[in-house]
Amino acid sequence: MALILQDRASDSSHTMCDEMRRYTLRKRAVEMQRTRDSILAAARAQLARVGYGSLRVDDVARRARVSRRTVYAHFPARSLLADAALRERVSALRERVARWHPRATEPAAVLDEIIAFHARSYREEYALMETLSQGAPEGGRRLLRELDAERLRTIARSVQIVSGHLRLAARDAVALIHATLSYPAWRVALTGPAGRRAPRLIASMLKAALL
C-alpha cells in the first residue's frame, strides 16, 4: 500500500513538473512573439520614415525598446528584417485587392470604381508603396511584383463585366488600365502639373480611350 501511494505521489510530481515545463515554454514563446512583433512594428515605422536605404538596426532597436543583439537574434540581416516587416503589410494589402470587385455594372461607373479603389489604396498605403518602389531590397521588389500581379487579376476580372461595351479588346483594355494605374505612373501624375486633378484626368483619359 505504501509503495502504491509512493508511486502515485511520484506520478503526480512528474505531472506537475511536465505542466510547469509546458507553461514555461508557452510563456517564453508568447514573450518571443511579442518581442518579434514589436521589432517588426518598429521596423515598419522606420521604413516609412526613412526608407530602406537609411534603415538602421540601432534605430529599430531603440524604437522597439530592445537591444541591438535582440534584433539580430530574430533577424540576422537588415534585409531580412525589412523583408519580414514589409511582407506582413503587403500580404494584407494583397488580400484586400483580391477581395475587391466593382459594385456597378455600367462601364463608366466600373472604371470610376477601379480608379477610386487604386486612389484609396495608394493613399492609405502611401508609406508602404514608397518603400517598395524606392530602393527596397530584392525581397521588397518581389513583394511589389506579387502585389502588382494581384492588381492585374483584379483589373482583368473587373473588365470582364463590361467587355462587351469597350472600344478595345478586353486584353488591351486590361493592359492600358494596369499600366495607367501602376503606382509609379500614379505617383508621377499626382506630383506633376495635374496634382489633385490627376484622378479626374486619368478617368477622363481612360473613358475616352475605352468607351
Average pLDDT taken over every residue of the chain: 88
Could you give the CA distance from residue 82 to residue 138 in angstroms, rounded to a whole number? 10
Candidates 93, 91, 112; CA nearest to 158 is 112
pLDDT at 6 over 70: no
Could you give the CA distance from residue 162 to residue 106 in angstroms, rounded to a whole number? 7
The predicted-structure confidence for 85-100, as pLDDT tens digits, reads as follows: 888 889 999 999 999 9
The predicted-structure confidence for 33-75, as pLDDT tens digits, reads as follows: 999 999 999 998 888 888 888 889 999 999 999 999 999 999 9
Residue predicted with more confidence, 2 or 80: 80
Residue 198's pLDDT is 93
Could you give the CA distance from residue 137 to residue 82 in angstroms, rounded to a whole number? 8
Assigned CATH topology for domain 2-74: Arc Repressor Mutant, subunit A (1.10.10)
Identify the H or E element spanning 173: helix 170-180
Residue 5's pLDDT is 46
CB 107, CB 57: distance < 8 Å? no
- Domain residue extents for the chain: 2-74, 83-210
Query: Taking the mean position of all CA atoms in its chain, how far away is CA 124?
Result: 11
Residue 14's pLDDT is 60
Q: Residue 182: helix, strand or coil by DSSP?
A: coil
pLDDT at 119 over 80: yes
Residue 3's pLDDT is 46
